[in-house]
Amino acid sequence: MIVAEILHVKGRSVHSIDVRARVTEAIDRLVHHNVGSLLVCDMHARNGQTPVGIVSERDILRAMSANPEGVSQLMVGDIISNQLLTVSPLDSVRHCMEMMTEHRVRHLPVVEGDRLCGLISIGDAVKALSTDLEVENDQLHRYLMGESAMVAATVTETEADGAHRVSREWLWLS
């Protein structure tokens, strides 16, 4: 499965906040949208919305722990890490999970060229892989029971730029 398939089901909306906003505004937005993270953008950049990071519930808890007097005066830019990892819509879900595990992040913005396409979470990736396994299991069960079945052969290739591209071939088993 590739990232574009997740976005097709999940949708492409991304909740964001300006890097200069107060942390309390980020908290309000997280609660209002019932999400675990916000894309942090520089709203004063040339194109009006340049991603610079992600702020998550964990980031806010760490800031609260480090600032017992409160976070009301902190800006979002004060509590985010400067490392922004992104993926392409054509990247494999497995590649995304490897990135999330290696870098200990739970959210990845999806970017195509310089255009933001969406945001996926570790939960989205786990759900996608689980769904793939259920379908594969069902099809293999059908095959073993003597019925026609269709299985997907997934081929992952690493491009020269290090990106992972995935293609699928469907095979009929009878």
**pLDDT at position 91:** 93
- 136 within domain boundaries: no
Rounded-to-integer distance, Cα 5 and Cα 37, Å:
21
CB 5 within 8 A of CB 94: no
Does residue 160 fall inside a structural domain? Answer: no
| 143 domain residue, yes or no | no
The whole-number pLDDT of residue 63 equals: 92
Q: Is residue 43 part of a domain?
A: yes
Per-residue pLDDT tens digits for 145-161: 777 756 565 555 555 65
Structural domains counted in the chain: 1
pLDDT score of 151: 56
Task: Report the chain's terminal Cα–Cα distance, integer Å.
Answer: 24
Structure pTM?
A: 0.74
Specify the pLDDT at position 133. Answer: 82
Domain holding 62: CATH number? 3.10.580.10
Per-residue pLDDT of the chain (174 residues), as tens digits, is: 889 989 988 888 899 999 999 999 999 999 999 999 999 988 877 666 678 899 999 999 999 999 878 888 899 999 997 688 999 999 999 999 999 999 999 899 998 887 888 999 999 999 988 887 887 788 777 777 777 756 565 555 555 655 555 555 555 655
Structural domain contains residue 46: yes
Tokens of residue 25, six digits: 């505004």
Q: Which domain holds residue 40?
A: 3-125
Report the C-alpha gap between 97 and 108 in whole angstroms. Answer: 10
